[in-house]
Amino acid sequence: CRQLFRSPSVPGSGPGHVPKRGRPSYRDSRAEAKRQRTVTGSLEQEASLEPVGDGEAWLEPCRSARLEEIEDLLARDDQELVGDFSKPHLLPTVEGKEPGLKYISPGTLAAVLTGHFSGSIASGVVVDCRYPYEYEGGHVKGAVNLPLERDVEEFLLERPVAAQEAGKRVIVIFHCEFSVERGPKMCKFLRERDRSCHEYPQLRYPELYVLKGGYREFFLHFPSHCEPRGYRPMEHPAFKEELRKFRGQSR
């Protein structure tokens, strides 16, 4: 899953990383090509073509420029860039269970809800991945209940949320009861589907977060931001049949 959120060229990005010693990087190939052009004096070639790794292919200038820009960003050793590498993450992150995902604290979510980041955020979507009976027992104000993958596809991909103001961001924050399983899983699902719909590295939603501790932790600290002001656990004894039904649908 880490490759969904970080470029394969980032050092330490996963077991599939190819060491630089064994395979020339895009940047090394560019430097070598420039030396060759200096010797040959072929200005026409320099203006029209750019080499990409091992001389296997040639890219059009505009696309090559975009890849060069991405490589420059990654070369800064900044691993906090959003999914399309266009800018750093806006929200402060904390360490979470899944190293490939970005987690925020309950306090950061409360700051988003109270408009602390309104100058930079056009739309902040809080996705509650819990089952409907949990959501009805208490949820973050303004959160949308999307417990199934098809719900996420319909709400976020078939009718995508767009930034109404130029230069502002659309962020999506996922959570479930504890943000251990359902929330992170749905966050990875959206990124995977988003990747498949666009040419790499473009994304509809480049900035995704997971609420650390889930709804339970958020409710303990900020009950005033919940409606109704309550917390219904997934394994509530009065909802055993609903739990069985939705678990079956999730599979």
Q: Give the mean model confidence (pLDDT) for residues 200-211.
A: 97
Residue at 145 is within a domain:
yes
What does residue 140 show for φ and ψ, rounded to 5 degrees?
-65, 135
Q: In Å, how far are 118, 121, 138, 230 from 89, measured between CA atoms?
A: 15, 12, 29, 31
What's the confidence (pLDDT) of residue 72?
59
What's the confidence (pLDDT) of residue 57?
40
Q: Residue 172 maps to which CATH number?
A: 3.40.250.10
List residues with catalytic annotation. 176
Tell me the whole-structure pTM to 2 decimals. Answer: 0.71
Residue at 246 is within a domain:
yes
Residue at 75 is within a domain:
no
Sequence-separated (6 or more) residues with CB below 8 Å from residue 62: none
Contacts of residues 218-223 at CB distance under 8 Å and 24 or more positions apart, as own/partner, are 218/106, 218/109, 218/110, 218/140, 218/175, 219/138, 221/106, 221/107, 221/110, 222/106, 222/109, 222/110
Q: How many domains does the chain have?
A: 1
**Dist CA 58 CA 51 (whole Å):** 5
Mean pLDDT of the chain: 80
Q: Give the mean model confidence (pLDDT) for residues 113-120.
A: 96
Q: Give the mean model confidence (pLDDT) for residues 158-169.
A: 89
Lowest-confidence region among 45-49, 113-117, 122-126 = 45-49
**Dist CA 143 CA 155 (whole Å):** 13
Render pLDDT for 90-104 as a digit per residue (tens, 0 to 9): 999 999 999 999 999
What's the confidence (pLDDT) of residue 173?
98
Residue 200's pLDDT band (cuts 50, 70, 90): very high
What's the confidence (pLDDT) of residue 87?
95
Residue at 183 is within a domain:
yes
Q: Give me Rg for the CA atoms of the chain.
A: 22
> Whose CA is closest to 136, among 235, 228, 249?
228
**Dist CA 221 CA 110 (whole Å):** 10
Spell out the SS3 assignment of 176-230: CCCCCCHHHHHHHHHHHHHHHCCCCCCCCCCCEEEECCHHHHHHHHCHHHEECCC
What's the confidence (pLDDT) of residue 166?
84
Helix and strand numbers (H, E) in the chain are 10, 9
Residue at 50 is within a domain:
no
Q: Give the mean model confidence (pLDDT) for residues 190-211.
A: 97
What domain range includes position 156?
Answer: 85-250
Percent of all residues in the chain with a pLDDT value above 90, rounded to a whole number: 63
Render pLDDT for 8-34 as a digit per residue (tens, 0 to 9): 444 444 444 444 444 444 344 444 444
69 compared with 25, residue with greater pLDDT = 69
Residue at 117 is within a domain:
yes
Q: Within 10 Å of residue 91's Cβ, how many Cβ atoms? A: 23
Residue at 5 is within a domain:
no
Q: Give the mean model confidence (pLDDT) for residues 222-251.
A: 94
